[in-house]
């Protein structure tokens, strides 16, 4: 049962990363605007983060969906979701009203704070799924099982 739950966790988190990144790729300047709106990073690195984040999200999504290097990908996923939760909590506490930019868009948006609890809950749930994959990376239909068969078999419950 653990391996089936791992498959679902991989597909859900990987699918979210794929969709989020793919929606941002066509308009990298919107991604930069979204990163800038959080007002957390030094301006000198905002463009780099804004341009690289969608690419990282797509790659992370592909790696998770295919089940390649699952534990490492899931650990990176945990870190990113934690950063996103911290970012949303930060703007909420500071009274900043922005669209999260999670699936494109981003920037100032009046009344956006009404969505913050939902966005935090969503990202916290995805963080927990990712943490499960760090703890138990062995799952059905993964490239890890094909490429690293002897290790994958020893990680079974």
User: Which neighbouring-strand residues pair with 98?
Assistant: 108
pLDDT value, residue 34: 95
What band does 5 get if pLDDT is binned at 50, 70 and 90? very high
| Average confidence (pLDDT) over 12-37 | 96
Asked if 68 and 74 touch (Cβ cutoff 8 Å), the reply is no
What band does 79 get if pLDDT is binned at 50, 70 and 90? very high
């Amino acid at each position: 049962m653990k391996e089936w739950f791992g498959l679902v966790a991989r597909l859900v988190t990987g699918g979210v990363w794929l969709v989020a990144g793919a929606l941002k790729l066509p308009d990298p300047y919107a991604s930069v605007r979204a990163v800038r709106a959080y007002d957390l990073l030094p301006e000198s690195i905002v463009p780099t983060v804004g341009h690289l984040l969608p690419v990282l999200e797509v790659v992370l999504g592909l790696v998770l969906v295919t089940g390649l290097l699952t534990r490492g990908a899931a650990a990176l996923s945990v870190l990113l979701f934690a950063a996103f939760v911290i970012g949303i909590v930060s703007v909420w506490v500071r009274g900043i009203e922005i669209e999260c930019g999670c699936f494109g868009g981003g920037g100032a948006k009046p009344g956006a704070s009404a969505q913050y609890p939902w966005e935090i809950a969503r990202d916290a749930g995805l963080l927990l799924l990712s943490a499960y994959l760090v703890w138990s990376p062995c799952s059905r239909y993964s490239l890890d099982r094909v490429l690293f068969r002897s290790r994958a078999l020893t990680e079974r419950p």
